[in-house]
Amino acid sequence: MIGIVLRVLTASLIGSVGFIHVKPRLRVAGMRFFRNLGRIKTRKRLTSGSHNSIALLLGREKEVFDNIHESDIIVDIEELKDADGSSGQPLWLAIRGRVYNVEEGWKFYGPDGPYHGFVGKDATRAFCTGCTKPECLISSMSNLTESEMKEADRWVEYYELHDKYSLVGMLQNVTGTIDDLVEKALEAEREDHRSPPRLVVTESERSENSMIGMSSF
């Protein structure tokens, strides 16, 4: 069944054309889809119980996996900023104050990767809303809906229980004027909402036969 859903999703993104440029909000939907695929694999690996895979795949599961542990290791905000994968530095990202090492996903999170914007910071708000503008890459969850905040829990589950990523420690000393940062994020989210996702295909791309590549990150 999951294979069928994957083929349908891929076909809906590709259609009958060659390469396509996927708008940010559609790219985020793809990120969440493959994140949930990873969560399904993890739950099957760690537990023997049955799971409603389709509900989880679509983000409609009743409960988020709660086998999450705290760490006594403290990561300073400046240390996190330096962990951007440049000049031999580690590759870390943070969500809900939890710092994860994602070096095993270098092609996704490295300096040339599509998700490098999440690295070196606590971008909880972006994980929640799907807004990936610089103003949205902050830790505050002020004014978010319950549904949006649940997205953060899903991402924590994904990174926490991933077989290649690991928890580094807990983030402290978050800097910045939170009220100002939140206001900028809200404005960016409003602009993002006013720009619905759409596919843009150039004439030259229509003549190509290559297919867009998608894989779990």
Provide the residue range defining the domain that includes 90: 67-196
The answer to whether residue 164 sits within a structural domain is yes
The answer to whether residue 180 sits within a structural domain is yes
The answer to whether residue 209 sits within a structural domain is no
> What's the pLDDT at 18?
33
Q: Which residue has the tokens 């070196």?
A: 120
CB neighbour list of residue 59: distance below 8 Å, 6 or more residues apart: 32, 36, 151, 154
- How many distinct helices (H) and strands (E) make up the chain? 9, 6
Q: Which of 173, 104, 89, 110 is nearest to 139 (CA)?
A: 173
Q: What is the pLDDT along the chain (217 residues), one digit of tens a residue?
A: 445 444 444 443 333 333 334 566 677 788 888 888 888 888 888 777 666 788 877 777 766 666 677 889 999 999 999 999 999 999 999 999 999 999 999 999 999 998 999 999 999 999 999 998 999 999 999 999 999 999 999 999 999 999 999 999 999 876 555 556 667 777 777 776 655 444 343 444 344 333 333 445 6
The answer to whether residue 9 sits within a structural domain is no
> What's the pLDDT at 25?
66
> What's the pLDDT at 140?
93
Task: Provide the domain count of the chain.
Answer: 1
What's the CATH code of the domain at 169?
3.10.120.10
The answer to whether residue 34 sits within a structural domain is no
The answer to whether residue 120 sits within a structural domain is yes
Radius of gyration of the chain (CA): 18
Distance, CA of 126 to CA of 32 (rounded, Å): 12
> What's the pLDDT at 185?
76
The answer to whether residue 22 sits within a structural domain is no
The answer to whether residue 19 sits within a structural domain is no
Q: What angle do CA 166, 172, 176 make, to 5 degrees?
A: 120
